[in-house]
């Protein structure tokens, strides 16, 4: 991915105003290139010089205002232009290359039926891989697209279809949008259409997924309608981009992307096997998240990537809010507390932490790094805290004023804060300084002094890490929970508390009241902070947690417990014991899933080789106990089965399930569960290459191909590891998803001795991998291929040596720096 600096973007924006692009693509060729003819009309300062992003394979012709442009002007991923007029027309006819890394115009060959599928993803700074473009968010333009494709193909873009004649497709001009938001899909996609409130709706997926899309379309359309209605209740400007299409594309790098008029999702969101309620809720949340972007990001777009939070924090917040308020997934905030917020907390404690709204993002490379748990989850949690402080009416009034002032244009942090301040009558500059402009997370602890069975004093003590010492005002709930004679637990009292930034806030209302069995800070999960239970409350958790009725309160407790283990304040074995005691009676599938996932990750890193098998067995027992009390239709059953498969060493039982023996009533051992079992058997050395190939012969689908890559890489066999590693680091022909899945299967805690030589090879080989791939695909691979299970000081030294290398790719630098910090924590716990 080429890099654009902020200084270059500011200068270019001062010279250029783009009117429109007319892109005419010919996708009928059989090679690895396609024809792109683009007409760009733009105004400029007379006599000025500027550039467009452009990465052609071959230029057929170029003219500027009718005069030929030397093809040599297109070098180094840029097209340099000089002698501009006030009104300019650039016409370029070129061959461009398809990609296999999820960026540019990605081409995919479906192994199930041999069909070819395309999607366009110009995210951040990849516009030049399809057309010559002024590729920065504040140079918005109208896009008009024409496509010539094979006659049997379907083509869809941001704009509405005007006409089709055989394989020739003409689309209407769009509203003014940023270059990175221009998209299309092309191929023999299967379509399902509908309409709601005057808005045409459409769903697209590969032909191989047609039956699954047809079956799931009613649910997806229902979620879409519910979300549209809720956004129309909140926002005075209705959905502004005509039709609302949702395409499910193969090998998509993100979960989804908010292209106006044609949202694109990864097609794993059209599952072909049984899924959990958590999986369904996750899809609902993504649908609402991307729809929120139609206002935050598409209608009003950040001026530069330092205001990424105006896109992602708001979409993350509104995704959970609308899912909870408008769909059947009313406990979406519980999932947010367990899963998404934990992502933000971990990112905020790593060396790469940054403010939610950094004051400077120097270039597009740095911008890519900020698509993380801070810009998404922390920002969303901070907005939840802001709403608790301002009130919902003032918050929504400010948002609507913001949309009306900047519709189809660009805006900044200052613009939004001004609208919210005017709506609420509060000066938000101080709030923004501590919550948005400064990195780091606070910890809130209860400090309790007793007078017999009553409270003498209860104070909330706020601390901050030395490297990020900012204390903040927090509006929180404080819950007092008591056990009752029937064994249940009741919320005796809930206090609304303003925690002061001074560091210590006394809760005067609790003096003299009976001591509760559990005192829970951040009841209702209103703020963004690490929560620590007092010693008496922590000791009572194993007895109280199974009987606590409120799922959000349970999520807050689980999250606090997991985070205490991450910080080395509680042993991982104690966590596993709590999981065994409380998880089998947990009613929320999302909580079960996340506790099992997070605990398994901590066991793999924090438990040493001697203790890991015993601790892992506790997790297997917890999953097995839950499986024993669930039955057909219970949303926890599949979660428990997956948890058991991932933790057990009982290969005979797994073999039995594959053969249809001993399978719990109601559990379908379908294609994906078969692959999960086979992957675990491969890790344990109980599935050879022939068995993997036999399973692939049963399942010649895209998903089967990806699972086979995981299984091959997971085998404890020297030749299999060598083949997998060669593919990960050196095979540029391998698609992004297959490379990622190979990396995902490679490192296994059970195989540390066999994998020891690859620890050094990671640090030696990754720089070259970043060179041949780059962008988000390279980041995913570098992350998944990191030797995180090789917990040792030697691994840390190798990381330090690589980090000291001059000119190290900044994406790789961040991956290594953050994983090394995780290993620092793991070593401290083991020691």
Digit-coded pLDDT (tens) for 767-780: 999 998 878 899 99
363 and 407 belong to one structural domain: yes
| For range 569-591, the mean pLDDT | 93
Q: How much is the pLDDT for 487?
A: 81
Range of the domain at 579: 571-669
Burial class (CB in 10 A: 0-12, 13-18, 19+), 536: middle
**Does 492 map to a domain?**
yes
Phi–psi pair at 88, nearest 5 degrees: -130, 145
Residue 54 pLDDT grade (very low, low, confident, very high; cuts 50, 70, 90): very high
Q: Is the pLDDT of residue 2 over 80?
A: no
pLDDT score recorded for residue 749: 96
pLDDT of 486 higher than 90:
no
Of 614, 635, 669, which marks where a domain is finished? Answer: 669
Mean pLDDT of the chain: 96
Q: Within this chain, do residues 791 and 829 fall inside the same structural domain, yes or no?
A: yes
Please indicate, yes or no, whether residues 557 and 600 belong to a single structural domain of this protein.
Answer: no
Domain check: are 310 and 425 in the same one? yes
Residues 340 and 466 in one domain: no
Q: Which of 435, 463, 481 corresponds to the end of one domain?
A: 435
Asked whether residue 431 falls in the same domain as residue 446, the answer is: no
pLDDT tens digits, 593-641: 999 999 999 999 999 999 999 999 999 999 999 999 999 999 999 999 9
Backbone angles phi and psi of 577, in degrees to 5: -65, -40
- Same domain, yes or no, for 665 and 721? no
pLDDT at 424 over 70: yes
Please give the structure tokens belonging to residue 670: 């379908």
Q: Which residues 6+ apart lie within 8 Å of 198 measured at CB?
A: none
Domain count, the chain: 4
Helix (H, G, I), strand (E, B) or coil at 472: coil
Could you write out the three-class secondary structure of 9-76? Answer: HHHHHHHEEEEEEEEEEECCCCCCEEEEEEEEEEEECCCCCEEEECCCCEEEEEEECCEECCHHHEEC
Q: Are residues 407 and 460 in the same domain?
A: no
CATH code of 501's domain: 2.60.40
Within 459-548, residue ranges assigned H as helices are 535-544
For the segment 741-788, what is each residue's pLDDT rounded down to a tens digit? 999 999 999 999 999 999 999 999 999 999 988 788 999 999 999 999
| Residue 455 counted as domain residue | yes
Q: What is the Cα–Cα distance from 756 to 323, expressed in whole angstroms?
A: 45
Q: How does DSSP classify residue 529?
A: S
Instruction: Grade residue 395 by pLDDT with cuts at 50, 70 and 90.
Output: very high
C-alpha torsion 544→547→553→555, nearest 10:
90
- Asked if residue 306 belongs to a domain, the reply is yes
Within 10 angstroms of residue 770's Cβ, the number of other Cβ atoms is: 22
Asked whether residue 273 is domain-assigned, the answer is no
CB 714 within 8 A of CB 728: no
**Residue 44: is its pLDDT beyond 80?**
yes
pLDDT at 522: 97
Sequence-separated (6 or more) residues with CB below 8 Å from residue 757: none
Tell me: do 480 and 541 sit in the same domain: yes
Assign residue 370 the CATH number of its domain: 1.10.390.10
**Residue 624 forms part of a structural domain:** yes
Residues 487 and 606 in one domain: no
Assigned token pair, 203: 């769903």
Instruction: Return the closest-CA partner of residue 234 out of 113, 128, 325, 332.
Output: 325
Per DSSP, the residues of 622-674 read: HHHHHHHH--TT-THHHHHHHHHHHH---HHHHHHHHTT-SPPTT----HHHH
Q: What is the pLDDT of residues 269-299, one digit of tens each?
A: 999 999 999 999 999 999 999 999 999 999 9
Q: Which of 103, 290, 316, 588 is catalytic?
A: 290
Residue 765 lies in a domain: yes
| Domain identity same for 553 and 453 | yes
Tell me the average pLDDT across 401-422: 97
pLDDT-derived band at 30 (thresholds 50, 70, 90) equals confident
Using CA atoms of 64, 70, 71, 75 in order, give the dihedral in degrees to the nearest 10.
-100
pLDDT at 240 over 90: yes
Decide if 502 is inside a domain: yes
> pLDDT digits over 676-727, tens only?
999 999 999 999 999 999 999 999 999 999 999 999 999 999 999 999 999 9
DSSP character for 102? S
The residues pairing with 39 across neighbouring beta strands, listed in sequence order, are 22, 91
Domain annotation covers residue 678: no
pLDDT at 95: 98
How crowded is residue 152: how many other Cβ atoms within 10 Å of its Cβ?
9
Same-domain check for residues 485 and 552: yes
Closest C-alpha to 319, from 278, 277, 269, 285: 285
Residue ending a domain, among 384, 410, 435, is 435
> Is there a catalytic annotation at residue 175?
no
In three-state secondary structure terms, 429 is: helix
Q: Is the pLDDT of residue 1 over 90?
A: no
Dihedral sign computed on CA atoms, order 6, 12, 13, 14: positive
Element (H, E) at 376: none
Average pLDDT over residues 357-365: 93
């Amino acid at each position: 991915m080429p890099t654009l600096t902020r200084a270059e973007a500011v200068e270019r924006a001062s010279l250029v105003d783009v009117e429109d692009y007319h892109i005419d693509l010919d996708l009928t060729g059989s090679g690895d290139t396609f024809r792109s003819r683009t007409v760009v009309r733009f105004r400029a300062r007379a006599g000025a010089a500027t550039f467009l992003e452009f990465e052609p394979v071959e230029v057929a012709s170029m003219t500027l205002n009718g005069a030929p442009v030397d093809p040599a002007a297109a070098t180094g991923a840029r097209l340099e232009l000089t002698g501009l007029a006030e009104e300019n027309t650039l016409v370029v006819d070129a061959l461009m290359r398809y990609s296999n890394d999820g960026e540019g115009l990605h081409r995919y060959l479906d192994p199930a039926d041999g069909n070819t599928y395309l999607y366009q993803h110009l995210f951040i700074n990849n516009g030049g891989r399809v057309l010559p473009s002024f590729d920065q968010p504040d140079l918005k333009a109208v896009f008009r697209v024409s496509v010539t494709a094979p006659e049997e193909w379907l083509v869809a873009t941001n704009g509405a279809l005007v006409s089709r004649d055989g394989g020739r497709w003409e689309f209407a001009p769009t509203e003014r949008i940023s270059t990175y938001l221009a998209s299309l899909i092309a191929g023999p996609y299967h379509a399902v259409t509908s309409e709601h409130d005057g808005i045409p709706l459409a769903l697209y997926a590969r032909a191989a997924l047609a039956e699954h899309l047809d079956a799931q379309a009613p649910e997806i359309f229902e979620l879409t309608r519910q979300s549209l209605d809720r956004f129309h209740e909140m926002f005075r400007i209705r959905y502004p981009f005509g039709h609302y299409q949702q395409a499910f594309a193969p090998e998509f790098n993100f979960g989804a992307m908010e292209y106006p008029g044609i949202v694109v999702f990864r097609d794993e969101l059209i599952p072909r096997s049984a899924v959990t309620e958590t999986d369904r809720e996750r899809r609902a949340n993504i649908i609402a998240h991307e729809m929120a972007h139609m206002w935050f990001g598409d209608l009003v777009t950040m001026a530069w990537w330092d205001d990424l939070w105006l896109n992602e924090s708001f979409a993350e917040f509104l995704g959970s809010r609308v899912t909870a308020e408008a769909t059947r997934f009313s406990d979406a905030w519980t999932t947010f507390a367990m899963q998404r917020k934990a992502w933000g907390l971990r990112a905020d404690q790593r060396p790469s932490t940054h403010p939610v709204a950094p004051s400077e993002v120097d270039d597009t490379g740095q911008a890519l790094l900020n698509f993380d748990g801070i810009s998404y989850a922390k920002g969303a949690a901070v907005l939840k805290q802001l709403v608790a402080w301002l009130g919902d009416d003032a918050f929504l009034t400010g948002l609507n004023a913001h949309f009306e002032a900047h519709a189809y244009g660009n805006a900044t942090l200052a613009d939004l804060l001004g609208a919210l301040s005017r709506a609420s009558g509060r000066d938000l500059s101080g709030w923004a300084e501590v919550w948005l402009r400064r990195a780091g997370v606070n910890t809130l602890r209860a400090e309790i002094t007793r007078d017999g069975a009553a409270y003498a004093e209860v104070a909330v003590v706020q601390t901050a890490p030395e490297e990020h010492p900012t204390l903040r005002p927090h509006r929180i709930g404080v819950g007092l929970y008591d056990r009752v004679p029937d064994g249940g637990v009741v919320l005796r009292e809930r206090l609304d508390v303003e925690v002061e930034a001074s560091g210590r806030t006394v809760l005067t209302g609790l003096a003299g009241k009976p001591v509760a069995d559990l005192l829970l800070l951040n009841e209702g999960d209103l703020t963004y902070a690490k929560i620590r239970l007092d010693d008496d409350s922590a000791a009572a958790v194993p007895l109280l947690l199974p009987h606590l009725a409120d799922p959000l309160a349970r999520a807050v407790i689980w999250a606090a417990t997991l985070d205490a283990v991450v910080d080395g304040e509680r042993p991982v074995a104690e966590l596993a014991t709590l999981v065994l005691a409380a998880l089998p009676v947990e009613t929320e599938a999302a909580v079960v899933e996340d506790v099992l996932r997070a605990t398994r990750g901590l066991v793999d890193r924090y438990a040493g080789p001697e203790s890991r098998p015993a601790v892992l067995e506790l997790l297997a027992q917890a999953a097995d106990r839950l499986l024993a009390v669930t039955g057909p239709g219970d949303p926890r059953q599949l979660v428990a089965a997956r948890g058991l498969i991932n933790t057990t060493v009982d290969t005979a039982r797994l073999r039995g399930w594959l053969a249809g023996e001993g399978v719990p009533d109601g559990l379908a051992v379908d294609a994906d569960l078969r692959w999960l079992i086979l992957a675990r058997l491969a890790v344990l050395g109980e599935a050879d290459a022939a068995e993997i190939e036999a399973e692939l012969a049963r399942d010649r689908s895209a998903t089967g191909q990806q699972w086979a890559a995981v299984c091959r890489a997971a085998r404890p066999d020297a030749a299999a590891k060598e083949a997998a590693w060669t593919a990960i680091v050196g095979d540029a022909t391998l698609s992004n998803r297959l490379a990622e899945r190979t990396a995902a299967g490679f490192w296994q805690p059970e195989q540390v001795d066999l994998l020891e030589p690859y620890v050094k090879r990671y640090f030696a080989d990754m720089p070259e991998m970043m060179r041949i791939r780059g962008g988000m695909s390279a980041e995913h691979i570098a992350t998944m291929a990191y030797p995180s299970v090789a917990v040792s000081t030697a691994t840390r030294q190798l990381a330090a040596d690589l980090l000291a290398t001059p000119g190290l790719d900044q994406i790789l630098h961040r991956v290594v720096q953050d994983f090394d910090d995780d290993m620092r924590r793991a070593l401290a716990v083991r020691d």
